[in-house]
Amino acid sequence: MRWKIFVEISRCSFCGFCEHACPTLNYGDFRRQYGPRGRIQAILFALRENLISPETIRGVYTCLECNACSLHCPAKINIAEIIRKFRYLVSSGSITPRPKVRKLMPIIQ
């Protein structure tokens, strides 16, 4: 599953068309990792280099999975499905965050 997620998000050119459709990014004054493009980039770093920060976890878990971003994606990446699969990898222990991040896991799950 990890490889499928990686292949799917590798198609992203980080154009930003998805950003305008995201309700969480439009709702508050969030940082970049709380938008679809930032979440994809955070997942890419997590899969490729095992770089998972508390902000990565918060960013991924604030997604509503409404799929509005996928409708605007020119590469037709199903961003909500990628986030769902990544959440599964984190919660099942396939991707292990650093100890400092692991402390946040009971709160999120």
pLDDT, tens digit, 9 for 90 and up, residues 19-47? 888 888 777 666 667 889 999 999 998 99
Q: What is the CATH number of domain 2-108?
A: 1.10.1060.10
Residue type, 84: R
- The domains of the chain are located at 2-108
pLDDT at 98 (0 to 100): 65
pLDDT at residue 28, rounded to an integer: 65
pLDDT at site 70: 93
CA gap 43, 6 in Å, rounded: 9
pTM greater than 0.85 (yes/no):
no
Q: Positive or negative, the Cα torsion across 61, 63, 67, 69?
A: negative
Q: Each residue of 47-102: pLDDT tens digit?
A: 988 888 878 888 898 899 999 999 999 999 999 999 999 999 988 888 877 665 55
User: Please, is 50 exposed, middle or buried when counting C-beta atoms within 10 Å of its C-beta (0-12, 13-18, 19+)?
Assistant: exposed
Average pLDDT over residues 1-27: 88
Please give the structure tokens belonging to residue 40: 């994809």
pLDDT of residue 102: 53
